Amino acid sequence: MRWFGRPNKKPLWQDEFSVFTADERYVSRRQLTKFLTLTSFSMFVGNAWILLRAWLHKSPSYTARPVGKADEIAVGSATTFQYPGPDSPCILVRTGADSYAAYSQVCTHLSCAVYYSPERNRLECPCHNGAFSVADGSVLQGPPQRPLPRVVIERQGETLVALRVESGGQV
């Protein structure tokens, strides 16, 4: 356990407050000022970058894609699909004979997969008991702060087509 102890035999106070200026480990006033200046400058640059990115941000474009047949799922049940890419799982709920609701399946809290609970008619996350409304994806309970992103679904004949993803909006 030698590695655990301090290698120096000197008492701690002597090590920390050395008589010799060469062994001092003080932070001088100048060093502190330099640190504060550089840190606040980098914070400023970081904030400016975030602001700039927000200004220049373009909303992504989505391509419409068929995600399933209209009568594939029964009323009051759900299925999953991937949209816009194969890495983005979404959940599609048939809420009525002719009404469908689709949301990202990724919980906005810690990215667990949400599932549809027909008994309570809501989307639930099993990880931390979060729940989202089927009507608009808003948070009903639990730790999530943001609503689920909504996938706009359009029925074209017998085919359900995902048109775009709308962000969950504000808190």
Partner 1 sequence: MFGMEFYVDPSRCIGCQSCLQACEECETHRGYSMIQFDFVDRRESTATAAYVCWHCDDPTCAQVCPADAIKKYDDGIVGSSLKPRCIACSNCVLACPFGIPKLMAPQEQMMKCDMCYDRTSAGKRPMCATVCPSQALAYVRPEQIARDRREKPVNTFYFGNQKITTKVFMMTPADEDSVSIDVADYTWENADALVRQTQ
C-beta of 20: minimal distance to partner 1 in Å? 5
Q: Which positions lie near partner 1, rule CB under 8 A?
A: 17, 19-22, 24
* Minimum CB distance to partner 1 smaller for 29 or for 58: 29
* Minimum CB distance to partner 1 smaller for 2 or for 30: 30
Q: How many CA atoms lie within 13 A of 36 on its CB side?
A: 6
CB 50 within 8 A of CB 75: no
* Minimum CB distance to partner 1 smaller for 8 or for 21: 21
* 3-class secondary structure, 35: helix
- The angle at the Cα of 16, spanning 12 to 22, to the nearest 5 degrees, equals 135
C-beta of 18: minimal distance to partner 1 in Å? 9
143 backbone dihedrals φ, ψ, rounded to 5°: -75, -20
C-beta of 29: minimal distance to partner 1 in Å? 11
The residues, ordered by sequence, that sit 6+ positions from 30 with a Cβ below 8 Å of its Cβ are none
Please name every residue paired with 156 in a beta bridge, in sequence order, or none if there are none. Answer: 159
* Minimum CB distance to partner 1 smaller for 20 or for 55: 20
Report the C-alpha gap between 44 and 51 in whole angstroms. 10
C-beta of 8: minimal distance to partner 1 in Å? 16
C-beta of 9: minimal distance to partner 1 in Å? 15
* Minimum CB distance to partner 1 smaller for 27 or for 52: 27
